[in-house]
Chains A and B, each alone.
Chain A
Amino acid sequence: MSDESLLSRRNALKCMAYGGAGTLFALSGGVLAPIDLAMAAADSKGAAKLGRPLFVQISDTHIGFNKEANPDVNGTLTQTIDIVNGMADQPALIIHTGDITHLSKPAEFDTAQQLFTRLRTTEMHTVPGEHDTSDATVTEYFNRFGKPSGNKGYYSFDHAGVHFIGLINVLQFKPGGLGTLGADQLAWVAADLKGRSSSTPIVVFAHMPLWTIYEPWGWGTGDADQLLTQLRRFGSVTVLNGHIHQIVQKVEGNMTFHTARSTSYPQPAAGVGSGPGPLKVPSDQLAAMLGITSVSVVKHPSALALNDTALA
């Protein structure tokens, strides 16, 4: 590595250390109200209204990726962890929405798990991305993270009155490329929701978007409608995904859909270029395109607030 590239990498890491600016989305009665994060920080009373962070979503860490779009994914994940550890109120949980690794290699999972131990918040829930299940035997992810789901990949849990549902949509693909939940998983969701009060806030998380963002690149889940139909009766539903390495969101009734930034590398906007590969940007622009989403309880138990933070 030349002195010049060392210098620019050091500058990029220094810029990331400032953390900071992003857009904050307060969710109230299913309506997202964007608030500039810098403004929220300046107005401490306004920021306090956002409530305690319930959890932080980390996505698409792609440990093992080493191409030009980000030669130091361990470094940017470390920066991400520093931002989370620096939050005044520590989140109760971390949710990782998949693509922990790039190639499903044991060494990549080991490195990721080693880095995650630096988080002050120790409770982490995961779902796999297709990059985590690309080993020929599809065992590496489940050997490490399969326990909560009995190696099925889908499971639910409750925290602070919120019902969380983790789903897997990367094992079978519809012809044409969309992800699939499958009949077994959909039946399990129906049983899981049965008898649950409609006033329970629901958070659903899966790797691939549970709404069709761009079908030609497989940015969606073919049978997601059968899931969403089951969720319509609930007063507050937050659907969190990763996979596309950029923020895209929509609100439909009481459902808020949101995809998180990656901590590793950006991807092009839908349909730009030959495919959804790593997007190369100048190194001083990279940190602004990486980040996390934090979710707070605003008016417990009826509303959650989503807050995106870039690394710079």
Chain B
Amino acid sequence: MILKRTRLLLTAFGMVLWGVEVGIPSVAESADATNVVVKDFKFMPTPLTVKAGSTVTWTNKDDDVHTVVSDTGAFKSGAMDTNDSYSFKFDKPGTYHFTCSLHPRMVGTIVVQ
């Protein structure tokens, strides 16, 4: 409850809330993390474990273009330029491997529970 009240208070400050949450993630938030950063020709974190029904978002933080392509064809982004994002909702539990089709040595895994 204390955490909830803190959040409500901070919401009034807009950007402050963002800064605080990114800077000091609570335990609950890190368990729900569904973001993959693409940087220095790597997907991070990998493997990433999420709950069924979660939407995972990949964001490209490199100067080069990257893609996210599932090994089984379950999902495929277009070309992502710097700061572009791609999201996919994982409804079914399972292990999903993916690569960057432009740099196929870049590999990652999403585990859906």
Inter-chain residue pair count (beta carbon < 8 A)? 60
Query: What is the distance, in angstroms, from B42's C-beta to the closest C-beta of chain A?
Result: 8
How many residues of chain A are within 8 Å of chain B by beta carbon?
24
Binding stretch for chain A, among B9-17, B26-34, B72-80: B72-80
Cα A137 to Cα B42 in complex, Å, equals 24
Question: A216 contacts which chain B residues (CB < 8 A)?
Answer: 105
Cβ contact of A275, chosen from B40, B77, B99, B101, cutoff 8 A: B40
CB contacts under 8 Å to B, within A109-166, are 130-131, 134-136
Main secondary structure of the interface of B (DSSP, over half): loop
Query: What is the distance, in angstroms, from A270's C-beta to the closest C-beta of chain B?
Result: 14
CB contacts under 8 Å to B, within A280-309, are none
Q: Contact mask B39-68 → A, CB, 8 Å, 1/0?
A: 011000000000000000000001111010
Q: Contact mask A167-188 → B, CB, 8 Å, 1/0?
A: 0000001111100000000000
Q: Is the CB of B101 within 8 A of A176?
A: no
Query: What is the distance, in angstroms, from B39's C-beta to the closest C-beta of chain A?
Result: 9
Question: A218 contacts which chain B residues (CB < 8 A)?
Answer: 103-105
Answer yes or no: B87 CB below 8 A from chain A CBs: no
Query: What is the distance, in angstroms, from A139's C-beta to the closest C-beta of chain B?
Result: 12
Q: Contact mask A58-98 → B, CB, 8 Å, 1/0?
A: 00000000011100000000000000000000000000000
Cα A174 to Cα B105 in complex, Å, equals 9
Answer yes or no: A229 CB below 8 A from chain B CBs: no
Q: Is the CB of B101 within 8 A of A173?
A: yes
Q: Output the residue of B76, B79, B81, B105 with the most chain A CB within 10 A.
A: B79
Q: Is the CB of B78 within 8 A of A173?
A: no
Cβ contact of B102, chosen from A131, A174, A274, cutoff 8 A: A131
Query: What is the distance, in angstroms, from A196's C-beta to the closest C-beta of chain B?
Result: 33
Q: Is the CB of B101 within 8 A of A136?
A: no
Q: Is the CB of B63 within 8 A of A67?
A: yes
Binding site for A on B (CB under 8 A): 40-41, 62-65, 67, 76-79, 81-82, 99, 101-105
Jot down 26 A-B pairs with beta carbons below 8 A, ordered by A.
A67-B63, A103-B78, A104-B78, A130-B101, A131-B79, A131-B102, A134-B67, A134-B78, A135-B78, A135-B79, A136-B76, A136-B77, A136-B78, A173-B99, A173-B101, A176-B105, A177-B105, A216-B105, A274-B40, A275-B62, A275-B64, A276-B103, A277-B41, A277-B63, A277-B64, A278-B64
Q: Other than A131-B79, A135-B78, A276-B64, give 19 A-B pairs with Cβ distance below 8 A.
A: A69-B63, A102-B79, A102-B81, A103-B79, A103-B81, A104-B79, A130-B101, A130-B102, A131-B65, A175-B104, A176-B104, A177-B103, A177-B104, A216-B105, A218-B103, A218-B105, A275-B64, A275-B103, A278-B63
